[in-house]
């Protein structure tokens, strides 16, 4: 039986395990949405904005290991989604963006929302933030091309792909063309190099392992822990890598970079002889603006699935290309089972900044996070959005062995943490997901609360409400000694939540917060937490990073 090309594409997605798609409908993509009705096992999650659809898809992909699928119309549907797709690109998350397009007969004729090569040229525009960007110009190979795009999203360093579907191609009827097989990047792990890397770590007296988000998958986390325990090396993590190593483990040293811990700096200042970096490109946010402390007297080793990251920001003595779990597993094949770690130098315990009370008697962001540590379950999933609260979350939040933590710091888009939490919750409904965000981010992207209500996503939104864009307020003061007025009217987010059909509570004490966090609900809840905006994490690495680029400053 012949069926529309759009239905063939839906079936390709189903073969890859997709059971949910996220997006906003429109005329150019309507045949695809119609085809989805033929496959009711694929949930249609209609979001309120296309960028938010991409953030939901990111959370879904990270929760399930399946591709996150974004479906939008042409023109503004594509440009609106661009920020979220760019975030997926920088985070290395396999997201597939399928966008509608005008019929091929209308190419170059100025049709409404035309994105053909003769118009907006959406394929070229998206090529910069995807691993593959393609126009399905003919019905015959359409399903095969989408199959290739999905394989590309999962090959090597994972990332998003973009496919645009003209109306007339989508509706063309064809006989089925069964596809089978998976295409993946193959890695040949060099045995001599892995043996040398392990020997260097085993003989080190002051080793350090720095783990990034490239170790986020469970296989890499387990391998990382085995390596650290075998060598006896302390482990620190980047901002994006928070959560990849249990933060209640005795070898955990803390976060390096923005929101980081003095225990990491103390260990680095005392000297490191062998430093192993795994799954991080070592950007400015993760290194306190490329701090010279990140050095090693004997050997700087780096493991990454993307060989372009090796030596990108720091000179290395040995680079190992491949997935973190596979490289570490090959390293450990050379170990002696009976070996006792020979590390002689003690490492400092995780050092947290003292918590200062509010002079106004109000809650502080530190109070909020410490209460979450006490009340939230050990396997909780946390997301953090962009804002002043982020540094506090990175510093004080404890992510335990079976927990998870997500923050999209590759691109740093406001709203990413709010909506990736919803996507994660939909992908893993048995987990409790907590999104920590600011009032500015919620005003910008909180409309997806209605999506969470509709789909019974039981996410808890902890809105740090200080009635201003607090990070930029303090940032301007730190850089220029003055600031524009970045305040906003005091918004009752609890009332806003109730208007959308969610549960909402205004929180002003730790007791109120603990009680609200402790209850497991069937749907989303918004906790509007009123805090003192002037009690902050001491030190501001973000301002320090920006100052180095400020013209006229002494170097």
| Greatest C-alpha distance within the chain | 74
Q: How confident is the model at residue 514 (pLDDT cuts 50, 70, 90)?
A: very high
pLDDT at 34 over 80: yes
Cβ 63 vs Cβ 424: under 8 Å: yes
DSSP of 458-487: --EEEEEE-SB-HHHHHHHHHHHS-----B
The pLDDT value given to residue 555: 39
320, pLDDT greater than 90: yes
Q: What is the pLDDT of residue 540?
A: 52
What gap in Å lies between CA 53 and CA 23, rounded to an integer? 5
Is pLDDT larger for residue 488 or for residue 129?
129
Handedness of CA 448, 512, 371, 475 (dihedral sign): positive
pLDDT at 393 over 70: yes
pLDDT band at 420 (very low <50, low <70, confident <90, very high): very high
Cα distances from 492 to residues 265, 294, 465, in angstroms, run 40, 45, 9
- Sorted by where each starts, the structural domains of the chain and their CATH numbers stand as 3-174 (3.40.50.970), 191-332 (3.40.50.1220), 365-542 (3.40.50.970)
Residue 550 pLDDT greater than 70, yes or no? no
For position 537, what pLDDT does the model report? 87
Please list, in sequence order, all residues whose beta carbon lies within 8 angstroms of the beta carbon of residue 410, skipping any fewer than 6 positions away.
87, 89, 90, 91, 92, 240
Interatomic CA distance for residues 455 and 452, integer angstroms: 5
pLDDT reading at 282 higher than 50: yes
* Average pLDDT over every residue of 79-98: 97
- Measured in degrees and rounded to the nearest 5, phi and psi for residue 535 equal -95, 110
- The confidence score (pLDDT) of residue 155 equals 92
Summary mean pLDDT of the chain: 92
DSSP string for residues in 415-463: THHHHHHHHHHHH-TTS-EEEEEEHHHHHHHGGGHHHHHHTT---EEEE
Q: For residues 193-219, give the mean pLDDT.
A: 95
Q: What is the mean pLDDT of residues 157-168?
A: 96
Are residues 367 and 534 in contact, defined by beta-carbon separation less than 8 angstroms?
Answer: no
Q: What residues are paired with 134 via a beta bridge?
A: 163
- List pLDDT tens digits, range 432-479: 999 999 999 999 999 999 999 999 999 999 999 998 887 888 777 888
User: What average pLDDT does this structure show over 294-304?
Assistant: 96
Least confident residue range of 115-129, 171-185, 502-516, 524-538: 171-185
Do residues 26 and 100 touch, judged by C-beta distance below 8 A? Answer: yes
Are 417 and 406 in contact by the 8 Å Cβ rule? The answer is yes
Residue 212 and residue 315: Cα distance in Å, rounded?
18
What DSSP element (H or E) covers 406? strand 404-406
Q: Which residue has the higher pLDDT, 531 or 343?
A: 531
Among 61-70, 140-149, 240-249, 284-293, name the one with the lowest average pLDDT.
Answer: 284-293
Q: For residues 246-270, b (16+ Cβ closer than 10 Å) or e, as one string?
A: bbebebbbbbbbbbbbbbbbebbee
**The CA-based dihedral angle spanning residues 439, 444, 450, 451, taken in that order and rounded to the nearest 10 degrees:** -120
Q: Give tens-digit pLDDT for 97-116.
A: 999 999 999 899 888 888 88
* CA neighbours closer than 13 Å in the CB half-sphere of residue 492: 10
- Is the confidence at residue 338, as pLDDT, over 80? no
**pLDDT attached to residue 284:** 85
**Across the strands, what pairs with 527?**
462, 505
Q: What is the model's pLDDT at position 467?
A: 83
- Render pLDDT for 18-31 as a digit per residue (tens, 0 to 9): 999 999 999 999 99
Q: What pLDDT score does 538 carry?
A: 79
DSSP letter at 531 equals B
pLDDT at 253: 95
* Other Cβ atoms within 10 Å of 171 Cβ, number: 16
Looking at the chain, the whole-number percentage of residues with pLDDT higher than 70 is: 95
Does pLDDT of 547 surpass 50? no
| Spatial distance between the Cα atoms of 314 and 272, rounded to a whole number of angstroms | 15
Nearest CA to 417 out of 389, 454, 450, 375 is that of 389
pLDDT above 60 (res 517): yes
Enumerate the β-bridge partners of residue 437: 463
Burial annotation 205-219 (CB, 10 A radius, 16+ → b, else e): ebbbbbbbbbbbbee
pTM value is 0.93
Q: Measured in whole angstroms, how far is the alpha carbon of residue 430 from the centre of its chain?
A: 20
Q: Per-residue pLDDT for 541 more than 70?
A: no
What string of H, E and C letters represents the secondary structure of 82-141?
HHHHHHHHHHCCCEEEEEEECCHHHCCCCCCCCCCCCCCCHHHHHHCCCCEEEECCCCCC
Q: Closest Cα partner for 305 from 318, 326, 321, 282?
A: 321
511 CB-side CA count, 13 A = 0
> What is the pLDDT confidence band of residue 389, given thresholds at 50, 70 and 90?
very high
* pLDDT value of residue 342: 60
């Amino acid at each position: 039986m012949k069926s529309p090309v759009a239905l063939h594409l839906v079936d390709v997605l189903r073969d890859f395990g997709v059971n949910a798609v996220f997006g906003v409908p429109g005329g150019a993509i309507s045949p695809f949405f119609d085809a989805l009705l033929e496959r009711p096992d694929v949930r249609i999650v209609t979001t309120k904005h296309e960028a938010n659809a991409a953030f939901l898809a990111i959370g879904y992909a990270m929760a399930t290991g399946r591709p996150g699928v974004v479906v939008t119309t042409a023109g503004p549907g594509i440009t609106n989604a661009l920020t979220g797709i760019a975030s997926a690109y920088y985070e290395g998350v396999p997201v597939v963006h399928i966008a509608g397009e005008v019929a091929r007969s209308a190419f170059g004729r100025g049709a409404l929302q035309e994105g053909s090569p003769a118009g907006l040229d959406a394929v070229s525009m998206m090529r910069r933030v995807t691993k593959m960007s393609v126009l399905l110009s003919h019905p015959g190979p359409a399903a095969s091309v989408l199959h290739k795009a999905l394989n590309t999203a999962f090959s090597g360093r994972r990332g998003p792909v973009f496919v645009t579907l003209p109306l007339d191609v989508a509706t063309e009827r064809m006989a089925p063309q069964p596809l089978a097989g998976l295409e993946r990047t193959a890695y040949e792990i060099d045995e001599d190099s892995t043996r040398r890397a392990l020997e260097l770590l085993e003989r080190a007296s002051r080793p350090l392992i720095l783990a990034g988000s490239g170790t986020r998958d469970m296989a890499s986390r387990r391998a990382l822990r085995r390596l650290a325990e075998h060598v006896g090396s302390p482990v620190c993590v980047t901002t994006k890598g928070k959560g990849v190593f249990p933060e209640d483990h005795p070898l955990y040293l803390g976060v390096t970079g923005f929101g980081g811990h003095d225990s990491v700096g103390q260990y680095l200042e005392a000297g490191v002889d062998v430093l192993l970096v795994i799954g991080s490109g070592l950007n400015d946010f993760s290194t306190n603006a490329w701090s010279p402390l990140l050095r090693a007297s004997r050997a700087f080793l780096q493991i990454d699935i993307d060989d372009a990251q090796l030596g990108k920001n720091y000179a290395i003595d040995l680079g190992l290309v491949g997935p973190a779990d596979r490289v570490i597993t090959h390293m450990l094949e050379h170990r002696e089972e009976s070996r006792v770690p020979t590390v002689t130098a003690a490492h400092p315990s995780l050092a947290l900044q003292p918590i200062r009370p509010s002079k106004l008697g109000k809650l502080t962001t530190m109070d909020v996070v410490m209460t979450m540590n006490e009340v939230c379950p050990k396997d909780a999933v946390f997301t953090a959005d962009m804002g002043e609260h982020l540094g506090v979350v990175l510093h004080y939040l404890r992510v335990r062995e079976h927990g998870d933590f997500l923050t999209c710091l590759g691109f740093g888009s406001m709203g990413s943490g709010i909506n990736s939490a919803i996507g994660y919750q939909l992908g893993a409904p048995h987990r409790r997901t907590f999104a920590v965000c600011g009032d500015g981010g919620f005003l910008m992207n909180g409309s997806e609360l209605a999506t969470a209500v509709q789909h019974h996503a039981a996410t808890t939104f902890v809105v740090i409400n200080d009635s201003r864009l607090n990070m930029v307020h303090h940032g301007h003061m730190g850089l220029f000694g003055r600031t524009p007025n970045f305040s906003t009217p005091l918004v009752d987010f609890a009332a806003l939540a109730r208007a959308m059909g969610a549960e909402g509570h205004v929180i002003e004490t730790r007791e109120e917060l603990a009680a609200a966090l402790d209850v497991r609900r069937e749907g989303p809840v918004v906790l509007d937490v009123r805090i003192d905006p002037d009690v902050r994490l001491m030190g501001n690495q973000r301002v320090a990073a920006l100052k180095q680029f400020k013209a006229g400053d002494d170097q």
